[in-house]
A and B are shown apart, each in its own frame.
Chain A
Amino acid sequence: MSKPIELRPDETFVVNVGPQHPATHGVLRVKMRMDGEYIVEAETVIGYIHRMHEKMGELKTYPQFLMNLSRMDYLGAMGYCHGHVLCVEKAAGIEVPERAEYIRVIMVELNRIASHLFWFGAFVMDLGGFSPLMYALQDREYILDMMESVTGSRLTYCYFRFGGLYNDIDDEFIAAARRFIPRMRKSMAKYEKLVTGNVIFRKRLEGNAFLSKEVCRKYGASSAVARGSGINFDVRKNEPYSVYPEFNFDIPVFHECDSLARYNVRMAEIEQSLRIVEQALDKLPDGPIMPAKAPKIIKPNAGDYYQAVETARGSFGVRLVSDGGKTPYRLKLRSPTYSNMHLFDETCTGMMIMDALAFMGSLDLVIPEIDR
C-alpha cells in the first residue's frame, strides 16, 4: 500500500497556469512556485503564438503590411491600425482630409467600447459571474454589425489607408450609431446595478493587487493599469494626435491602485468614448475621404519616426526606421499589454493564487498582442 503524501512545512511546489487555461484568455503560461495557496515566485512565459510581425514589416511594402496590424489585437484592432497609418503618414508627409480623420476617430472609439465590453464580460466571468458576458456581447454585437457594414469585417479590419479610408460611412451607419449611444447608456446603468454595485464583486476586488505609481513607471504601464494607480496619462490628452483636441472628454483616473480601480477606469471610459462619438457625429464635416493625390507607392523620407496612440489597451507605439525605400528598414511595434503583463511577476508574489488570477483579468490581456 502506498503511503499518503506528506508535505514538509517549508516545501513548495510548482503550478503551471496555462498555456491552455481559461483564465489566461489565450496561450499564456505562468510558472508559479507555490507555498500552499500563496505564490512564492512567478515567471510568465510568453511567445506561444509569436508570429514575427516586425520581420513581416521589413519584408512587405507599406500597404501590404496594413492588414497585419489588426491581427495583433483582435479586440481593439482599429487603434493599432490608426497608430501605424499615422506614423507612415507623418514619415511620408501625406495629408489626410478632415472627414477621414473624423471617421477614423469614430471607428477607433466604437472599437474601444467593443473591446472594453468584451473585457468587462470576460473579467466578470473570471470572477465567477457568467451572465454579464452575455449582456456585454449583445451590446458588442451591435457595434460589430455597424462596423461590418462599413469596413467589411467584424474583427480584423483593414479599413484605414495611407491618406484616408477605404470606404465612406453612409446615413445608415450614422443613424445606427445615433441609436446605439442611448442604448449603450442604458446598458451602462444596467451594468452599474448588476455588477459594479454588487457587494460580492466589490469585496473581491477592493485592495486586490496594489500597484504603486513607481512600479507603473518602472515597467512603463499605461491604459487603465496606470490610470487606476492615480496616473493621469492618456496619449489622447497628453500628446494629442489626430482630431482629438477638438473633442470635449475627460480622462477617468482612480487613485485606489487596486483591481476595482482598474475596473472603474474602463467602465468610465466607455462613457467618455460615447461622448467622443456623439460629438464626432455632430461635427462630421463633408468632403473627400482620400486626398486627391494619394501616392500609389509609399516612400517615406529616410530617418526615424515615432508615433504613439492610445488604444483600448494602452499606449501603442510605432517606431519606423526608413532608408527611403519601398519597405521599412525597421518597424518596431511597441505593444502596451507587453509592458502591462510584465509587472505581473513582481506584483503577484505573496498573493493567493485566486487573487492573482483576478489581478490578471484586470490587466485586460490579449495574448497575440503581447507575442506579436
Chain B
Amino acid sequence: MIAETTKKALQALFPEPAAAVEEIPASPETEEADKAPKKEAGPRPNGVIERDYAVHGYHLDAQVAVDQLIDAVNIVDQNEFFIETITGVDWIKEGEFEVIYDFSRYDFEVCRVVIRTRVPRDNPQVPTITGIYAGANWHERETHDFFGIKFEGHPHLIPLLLPEDADFHPLRKDFKP
C-alpha cells in the first residue's frame, strides 16, 4: 500500500520519460536478468524502479537529478519515513559520485526507499536535506569527510569523524593511504 503511494508520488517527479524507464525493470525478476540491462544500458536514466525485496533488501529505488532531490526527500518525509543513512559511492570510471539516501518505516508496512543522485566528480555539490531531516546532519558531514562531497546550505560542514585538519577524503578510489 504505502509502497504504491510513495512510488506514485515519486514518479510524479518525472513527467514524461518515466513510463519509458519503467519498462526496464518490469520483466526481470531473476538476478541475471536484473543485472543484464544495467551493464548494457550504460548510465541509468533517472526514474523510479521497483526492486525485488528478497534480492536487494529494498523496495523502491529512485534515481533523481540533483535539483529534484529536495522534492523527492519531501515526498518521503510526508509519507512518514525515517532516515536510515546517507552515504556515497565513488564511480571513478564514470567520473561521478553517487549519493545514496536510505529511508525506512517504523510501522509494519515494510517499505525501504532508496533515493540516489549523481554529481560530477570534479565539482560535487548536493543540496543539504538537514532542513527536512535534522538527523541528516551527521550523515552529510560523514559523507563530506569521506568523499569531499559538498552539501550546500549545511549549517556546520566541518570534519566529524576525521581529524579537524584533515584535507583528504579516504573513500575516494584514487586515495592512497
A: residues with CB less than 8 A from B are: 46-47, 50, 52, 54-55, 58, 87, 90, 93, 216-221, 226, 231-233, 237-239, 301-308, 315, 317, 319, 321, 329-330, 332, 334, 338-339, 342-343, 346, 371-372
Contacts and interface: CB of A to CB of B under 8 A. Distances in A.
Contact of A306 (B56, B83, B160, B162): B56
A326 to B, nearest CB: 16
A217 B57 contact: no
10 contacts: A46-B160, A47-B162, A216-B106, A218-B82, A220-B82, A301-B31, A303-B34, A306-B102, A307-B57, A343-B135
Given A217-B106, A301-B35, A308-B84, 15 more contacts: A47-B163, A90-B55, A217-B81, A219-B135, A232-B106, A233-B107, A238-B106, A238-B110, A302-B39, A305-B57, A315-B104, A319-B87, A321-B89, A330-B87, A372-B161
A317 B34 CA distance: 23
A54 B135 contact: no
B3 interface: no
Contacts of A332: 85, 87, 100
B57 A55 contact: no
A231 B82 CA distance: 12
Contacts of A334: 84-85, 102
A88 to B, nearest CB: 12
A55 B171 contact: yes
Contacts of B133: 218-220
A58 B82 CA distance: 28
A330 B176 CA distance: 16
A371 to B, nearest CB: 6
B161 A329 contact: no
B45 to A, nearest CB: 17
A301 B58 CA distance: 16
B38 A303 contact: yes
Contacts of A233: 106-107
Nearest to A239: B110
B159 interface: yes
A327 B161 CA distance: 24
B151 interface: no
A57 to B, nearest CB: 10
Contacts of A305: 55-57
A50 B108 contact: no
Contacts of B102: 306, 317, 319, 334
Given A238-B110, A305-B57, A319-B102, A93 B85 contact: no
A231 to B, nearest CB: 5
B138 interface: yes
A47 B159 contact: yes
B134 interface: yes
B125 to A, nearest CB: 21
Interface in B121-163: 133-135, 137-138, 146, 159-163
A90 B57 CA distance: 9
Contacts of A338: 138
Contacts of B80: 217
A330 B135 contact: no
Nearest to A330: B89
A343 B31 CA distance: 39
A87 B146 CA distance: 23
Given A52-B170, A301-B31, A321-B89, A219 B134 contact: yes
Contacts of B55: 90, 303, 305
